Amino acid sequence: MLGCVPDLDPEEFRRLGHQLVDWVADYRAGVADLPVRSEVAPGWVRSQLPAELPEEPRPLGDLLAEVDRVVVPGTTHWQHPSFFGYFPANASLTSLLGDMLSTGLGVQGMLWSTSPACTEMEQVLLDGLAGALGLGPEFTFAGGGGGSIQDSASSGALAALLAALHRSSDGAWRQTGADGRERVYVTAETHSSLAKAVRVAGLGARALRIVDPSPGSLAMSPAALEAALAADVAAGLRPILVCPTVGTTGTGAIDPVRAAADVAREHGAWVHVDAAWAGVAALCPEFRDLLDGVELVDSFCTNAHKWLLTAFDASLLWVRDATALPAALSITPEYLRNAATDSGEVVDYRDWQVSLGRRFRALKLWTVVHSYGLSGLRAHVREHVALAAAFADRVREDPGFTLAVEPSLALVCLRVVTGGGDAADDAASRTVLERINASGAALLTHTVVDGRYVIRVAIGSIATAKEHVDALWARLVETAAQVRAEIAAADALRREEPS
Amino acid sequence: MLGCVPDLDPEEFRRLGHQLVDWVADYRAGVADLPVRSEVAPGWVRSQLPAELPEEPRPLGDLLAEVDRVVVPGTTHWQHPSFFGYFPANASLTSLLGDMLSTGLGVQGMLWSTSPACTEMEQVLLDGLAGALGLGPEFTFAGGGGGSIQDSASSGALAALLAALHRSSDGAWRQTGADGRERVYVTAETHSSLAKAVRVAGLGARALRIVDPSPGSLAMSPAALEAALAADVAAGLRPILVCPTVGTTGTGAIDPVRAAADVAREHGAWVHVDAAWAGVAALCPEFRDLLDGVELVDSFCTNAHKWLLTAFDASLLWVRDATALPAALSITPEYLRNAATDSGEVVDYRDWQVSLGRRFRALKLWTVVHSYGLSGLRAHVREHVALAAAFADRVREDPGFTLAVEPSLALVCLRVVTGGGDAADDAASRTVLERINASGAALLTHTVVDGRYVIRVAIGSIATAKEHVDALWARLVETAAQVRAEIAAADALRREEPS
């Protein structure tokens, strides 16, 4: 007992902490045998947990029993090797070690002075990763820019938009707010976090311009962007921000960063690249073309908590002007004033984000980067891209399926082919997806492209190996065959009916 | 090796995880012997970490050696028993156990369907805590309201403001954004996160009204609020939100919630109570008066990561209308559509916050609440309030010090008295604080009230016991005596100089 109240003393923590580590080790060792998707009904988890909070302490063993009995069946297992939904959210066990250090230290890194290591380890890491990703020296602190760890790409997009609003108004925005003439440029495939940022920033949905794709693609058309910007400027509106996406959520489409940046810069608009999922692929030289033109943009975001093996949350946001976010976001009440800040020699990361408080997130990312080495991180990306390519080949070769779009890195988008036309294919694709998810053998999510239902197969969970992708393919083939057989039987029945 | 790339297999994790637990246990066991404040210079941590990211994996032992050599001396130790700065940010070891479960599961709880347990455990906990805090049934899901875990009170304030903007415009805000006529009411002592929320939401600083305090206090004057609202309405402006604070950051001032709510409701303004630090004291019936009138407000925020022993980040936000945040914040792209959401039977917490992704934060709070029991949580609050009361008595009884304001719960604000007038007292107070911080024996932070420098002593770190508060008092007395002696010596020297 260290303080007034019985928190665990370090020796009790040692014992219980080992017990928790063992629980996690056992969970991960057995997760492949659980159904991926939780099959509980709404309200079941609530009904199983005590509604009243306990007056007296309960032993940890009781809590772990409740986790086994209620939480595990109530959980969709994101770390399951057959989780192919959304994008992977890799919480590597390596990153868990770093996260334990972070919570163990219990540091709050709002200011440099509230923990220099929390700030400077983040700076070192983000500078190093800027180099490893090929972002260029202008995104490092030495080059006048710099990076920060945000909780999510949503927050990164919002922070970029706020910096853009500040810059475009020469600072008037801080005093007078939005003026109703701001415009922000995305495509129909851009992540909804951009629309949300526009709403949060008080611009209203009218500020959001959906730029058309280039013909035959889902990627932003530079010509359409140019036309939209020119028309808006002519109408007295103010282009604030253009957001090219590298790897859209739906299909992995790649907007042309260089061309978009060329157009945007002509009109003084901020360019924010959302590469939440695909950005980390640029660690591999062979994928670096995805970011062609990134040296022209104002901010760039990619998530370490997706494909870079770091437990949520850890979204990486770089800006080419280290003063841009503090200029937009800083507010300094007396109690936060300190000599280090006044010296101008330090970064206070609170000024790079909306929230004041912040965790020592760098530790988990640092543990991952140093424990894997860049070679290990590249191998992770490469092997999943190779698995996706092989999977896409199977789709191409099987007349019962079709690729909805060409695969993008480790994302494969496909449809079931029934021979009965678009509507029948869409219905069959939906049924196949729902049956596989209901089986618990794998988890898939969907999107809609040009009105057509699309099954997404996002490969990249840390535990996913060839056997799991093979098993998914076998199940897709089998389930689609069942669905086609049911359609044929129903058709036969219909033909037999008297007309 | 589970997947393609060598993450730890569960057995390696077991071994290394135990090593990490031991590191944390050793760190906490020894933290009291470290200087509280890091004394490293800007740039030192950077200079000690390898600038280049490693190509090949490094063993965990090397990383831990680097943590010991660089991170520990580069850290200001928030979990130190003599940390009296800001407000406590208790990362109890108990909560660390829950956090390990959360990262171990690696769940992303943006939707109910992406992990029912992540959502429903949060609902159960927040409903239970609403009862335990005396918030009333209207803040529970059963009562039509509900709570959520945000990362910080900054985010809670922003979410409340966005809901208020939506409500006050009958939804037009979503389409057309801010109109420039919005006004938000705070006091000079309100946390800067409100000013930041106003800025982020695109209202501009002009939207922020600083309401005068009641005479002789630092708490919001209901009469001044009434006058400000009436004047703004008469001028065609729109009162959007009033924020009474229960326990301001500077001095722990308590705004009158009931009176502020009565005034605000007359004009249709949203009432958001910021009780980030002090709110959890309402677990104790004897402190529940602090929240008098809370049944009239629209939203209420308190931080589990301050005084409620739960590792950052875990800020609790309740609203009396469960539809308010989703109405303001929901945007549903195709890939997030699912049967559970469509059924209307579930809560999708992504619609209660700005970010899309979210961790399973409920697990750490649940572990704390169940491991301590409500009786343990109350004892933690009570014992630190009692320590603060005894400390304040010493300040009152010593003519060398004065209370800057009456103590508020576990926060004591004081000044050094020199006999040389206000300016001398302020300078001495600053010197005393700086010397104590530089000694590493304790950490204090300051504020300025009515132009006067104030030393804040925030008691409440989990490891803080009577001996640490006694040691702080002894050091304050000793350091202030030194400073007074230096002033006297300088005065004597001056008197000896020829005029």
For the segment B136-174, what is each residue's pLDDT rounded down to a tens digit? 999 999 999 999 999 999 999 999 999 999 999 998 999
Residue A183 touches chain B, beta carbons under 8 Å: no
- Strand locations in B106-178 (E): 146-150
Q: Which residue of A has its CA nearest to B106?
A: A91
Q: How far apart are the C-alpha atoms of A6 and B371, rounded to whole Å?
A: 10
DSSP label of A454: E
Residue B29 touches chain A, beta carbons under 8 Å: yes
Q: How far apart are the C-alpha atoms of A104 and A364, rounded to whole Å?
A: 12
Taking residues B50-54, report their average pLDDT: 93
Taking residues A96-107, report their average pLDDT: 97
Task: Report chain A residues whose CB lies below 8 A from the CB of B467.
Answer: none
The whole-angstrom distance between B228's CA and the closest CA on chain A is 19
Q: How far apart are the C-alpha atoms of A344 and A332, rounded to whole Å?
A: 14
Q: Which residues contact B384 (CB under 8 A, 6 or more apart)?
A: A4, B307, B410, B459, B460, B464
Q: Which residue of B has its CA nearest to A250?
A: B335
DSSP strand pairing (A401-403 vs A411-416):
antiparallel
A198-242 per-position pLDDT tens digit: 999 999 999 999 999 999 999 999 999 999 999 999 999 999 999
The whole-angstrom distance between B288's CA and the closest CA on chain A is 18
Q: Would B10-90 and B107-359 be classified into the same CATH topology? A: no
H or E element that contains B102: helix B93-105
Which of A92, A101, A174 has the CB atom closest to B67's CB atom?
A101
Task: Report chain A residues whose CB lies below 8 A from the CB of B62.
Answer: 370
Taking every pair of C-alpha atoms in chain B, what is the biggest distance, in angstroms?
90
C-alpha angle B302/A177/B261, rounded to 5°?
A: 40
Taking residues B248-270, report their average pLDDT: 97
Task: Report chain B residues whose CB lies below 8 A from the CB of A173.
Answer: 202, 204
The whole-angstrom distance between B153's CA and the closest CA on chain A is 8
Residue B375 touches chain A, beta carbons under 8 Å: yes
Report CB contact under 8 Å: A5, B383: yes
How many contacts (CB atoms, under 8 Å) link A and B? 566
Report the interhelical angle of A466-496 vs A362-397 (nearest 10°): 40
Q: What is the pLDDT of residue A2?
A: 35
Alpha carbon B2 to its chain's center: 40
A261-277 per-position pLDDT tens digit: 999 999 999 999 999 99
H or E element that contains A154: helix A153-168
At A271, the amino acid letter reads: V
Residue B70 touches chain A, beta carbons under 8 Å: yes
Of chain B residues 218-257, which have a CB less than 8 A from chain A? 249-250
Q: Where are the domains of chain B?
A: 10-90, 107-359, 370-496
The whole-angstrom distance between B262's CA and the closest CA on chain A is 28
Question: Do you find a cis peptide bond into B26, omega within 30 degrees of 0?
Answer: no
Q: How far apart are the C-alpha atoms of B296 and A186, rounded to whole Å?
A: 42
CA dihedral sign, ordered B178, B182, B185, B188: positive
B206-224 per-position pLDDT tens digit: 999 999 999 999 999 999 9
CATH superfamily of B10-90: dopa decarboxylase, N-terminal domain (1.20.1340.10)
Report CB contact under 8 Å: A8, B93: yes
| CA-only gyration radius of chain A, Å | 25
Taking residues B363-391, report their average pLDDT: 97
- Tell me if B442 sits within 8 A of B472, measured CB to CB: yes
A139-172 per-position pLDDT tens digit: 999 999 999 999 999 999 999 999 999 999 998 9
Six-digit token string for B25: 């246990």
Report CB contact under 8 Å: B463, A2: yes
Q: What is the pLDDT of residue B432?
A: 98
Residue A176 touches chain B, beta carbons under 8 Å: yes
Give the rounded percent of residues in chain A with a pLDDT score beyond 90: 93
Q: Which residue of B has its CA nearest to A20?
A: B97
Q: Which residue of B has its CA nearest to A387?
A: B4
Report CB contact under 8 Å: B447, A372: no
What's the pLDDT band for A332 if we cut at 50, 70, 90? confident
Six-digit token string for B320: 């009396």
Residue A34 touches chain B, beta carbons under 8 Å: no
Alpha carbon B313 to its chain's center: 9
Of chain A residues 297-336, which have a CB less than 8 A from chain B? 305, 309, 311-313, 329, 331-336
Burial class from Cβ neighbours inside 10 Å (0-12, 13-18, 19+) for residue B234 reads exposed
Taking residues A28-46, report their average pLDDT: 97
Report the interhelical angle of A10-30 vs B93-105 (nearest 10°): 10
Question: Do you find a cis peptide bond into A313, omega within 30 degrees of 0?
Answer: yes
B105-114 per-position pLDDT tens digit: 999 999 999 9
Taking residues B265-291, report their average pLDDT: 97
Q: Which residue of A has its CA nearest to B329?
A: A196
Report CB contact under 8 Å: A192, B24: no
A477-488 per-position pLDDT tens digit: 999 999 999 999
* Paired residues of B185 in beta bridges: B209, B242
Q: How far apart are the C-alpha atoms of B178 and B173, rounded to whole Å?
A: 6
A391-440 per-position pLDDT tens digit: 999 999 999 999 999 999 999 999 999 999 999 999 999 999 999 999 99
Task: Report chain B residues whose CB lies below 8 A from the CB of A313.
Answer: 357, 359
Taking residues A375-380, report their average pLDDT: 96
Is pLDDT above 60 for B5?
Answer: no
Residue A389 touches chain B, beta carbons under 8 Å: no
Residue A192 touches chain B, beta carbons under 8 Å: yes
Task: Report chain B residues whose CB lies below 8 A from the CB of A284.
Answer: none
Q: What is the pLDDT of residue A3?
A: 41
Question: With b meaning 16 or more CB within 10 Å and e meaning fewer, what string describes A115-154?
Answer: bbbbbbbbbbbbbbbbebbbbbebbbbeeebbbbbbbbbb
pTM of the shown model:
0.97
Q: What strand order describes the sheet that includes B315-319?
A: B146-150, B315-319, B299-303, B270-274, B238-242, B182-187, B208-211
Residue A399 touches chain B, beta carbons under 8 Å: no
- Tell me if A240 sits within 8 A of A264, measured CB to CB: no
Report CB contact under 8 Å: A180, B177: yes
Q: How far apart are the C-alpha atoms of B115 and A197, rounded to whole Å?
A: 25
Is pLDDT above 60 for A5?
Answer: no
* Paired residues of B147 in beta bridges: B318
Q: Which residues contact A359 (CB under 8 A, 6 or more apart)?
A: A102, A103, A107, A108, A109, B312, B313
Residue B192 touches chain A, beta carbons under 8 Å: yes
The whole-angstrom distance between B480's CA and the closest CA on chain A is 21
Q: How far apart are the C-alpha atoms of A387 and B498, rounded to whole Å?
A: 90
* Paired residues of A454 in beta bridges: A447
Report CB contact under 8 Å: B124, A199: no
Burial class from Cβ neighbours inside 10 Å (0-12, 13-18, 19+) for residue B199 reads buried
What's the pLDDT band for B241 if we cut at 50, 70, 90? very high
Report CB contact under 8 Å: A202, B177: yes
Which of B6, B151, B158 has the CB atom closest to A151's CB atom?
B151
Q: What is the pLDDT of residue A400?
A: 98
Top-confidence residue, A2 or A40? A40
- Tell me if A178 sits within 8 A of A166, measured CB to CB: no
Phi, psi of B85 (to 5 degrees): -85, 165
Q: How far apart are the C-alpha atoms of B310 and B316, rounded to whole Å?
A: 11
- Tell me if A167 sits within 8 A of A269, measured CB to CB: no
The whole-angstrom distance between B345's CA and the closest CA on chain A is 7
Report CB contact under 8 Å: A4, B93: no
Average pLDDT, chain A: 96
- The ipTM (two decimal places) reads 0.96
Give the rounded percent of residues in chain B with a pLDDT score beyond 90: 93
Task: Report chain A residues whose CB lies below 8 A from the CB of B274.
Answer: none
CATH code of the domain made up of B107-359: 3.40.640.10
Q: What is the pLDDT of residue A334?
A: 85
Q: How far apart are the C-alpha atoms of B233 and B183, rounded to whole Å?
A: 10
Q: How far apart are the C-alpha atoms of B47 and A159, rounded to whole Å?
A: 29
- Tell me if A71 sits within 8 A of B117, measured CB to CB: yes
Closest CA to A108 of A97, A100, A116, A99: A116
Which of A25, A127, A313 has the CB atom closest to B17's CB atom?
A25
Closest CA to B208 of B233, B190, B227, B235: B190
The whole-angstrom distance between B479's CA and the closest CA on chain A is 20
- Tell me if A310 sits within 8 A of A302, measured CB to CB: no
Report CB contact under 8 Å: B206, A249: no
Top-confidence residue, B34 or B450? B34
Q: How far apart are the C-alpha atoms of B29 and B23, rounded to whole Å?
A: 10
| CA-only gyration radius of chain B, Å | 25
Taking residues A75-98, report their average pLDDT: 96
Q: Which fold has domain A370-496?
A: Aspartate Aminotransferase, domain 1 (3.90.1150)
CA dihedral sign, ordered A384, A387, A389, A394: negative
Alpha carbon B305 to its chain's center: 7
Q: What is the pLDDT of residue A499?
A: 59
Which of A104, A174, A205 has the CB atom closest to B24's CB atom?
A104
Report CB contact under 8 Å: A116, B54: no
Report CB contact under 8 Å: B46, A123: yes
Six-digit token string for B327: 């109405």
Q: Which residues contact A499 (CB under 8 A, 6 or more apart)?
A: none
B55-100 per-position pLDDT tens digit: 999 999 999 999 999 999 999 999 999 999 999 999 999 999 999 9
B118-138 per-position pLDDT tens digit: 999 999 999 999 999 999 999
Alpha carbon A495 to its chain's center: 49
H or E element that contains A452: strand A452-458
Q: Which residue has the tokens 């794709």?
A: A213
The whole-angstrom distance between B458's CA and the closest CA on chain A is 13
Residue B8 touches chain A, beta carbons under 8 Å: yes
Q: Which residue of B has its CA nearest to A449?
A: B334
Q: How far apart are the C-alpha atoms of A353 and A159, rounded to whole Å?
A: 6
Q: What is the pLDDT of residue A404?
A: 97
What's the pLDDT band for A497 if we cut at 50, 70, 90? confident
Burial class from Cβ neighbours inside 10 Å (0-12, 13-18, 19+) for residue A430 reads middle
Q: Which residues contact A370 (CB under 8 A, 6 or more apart)?
A: B53, B54, B57, B58, B62, B63
Q: How far apart are the C-alpha atoms of B426 and B418, rounded to whole Å?
A: 9
Q: Which residue has the tokens 């897709």?
A: A476
DSSP label of B69: I
What's the pLDDT band for B4 if we cut at 50, 70, 90? very low
Closest CA to A290 of A455, A411, A413: A411
Residue B129 touches chain A, beta carbons under 8 Å: yes
Q: What is the pLDDT of residue A1?
A: 34
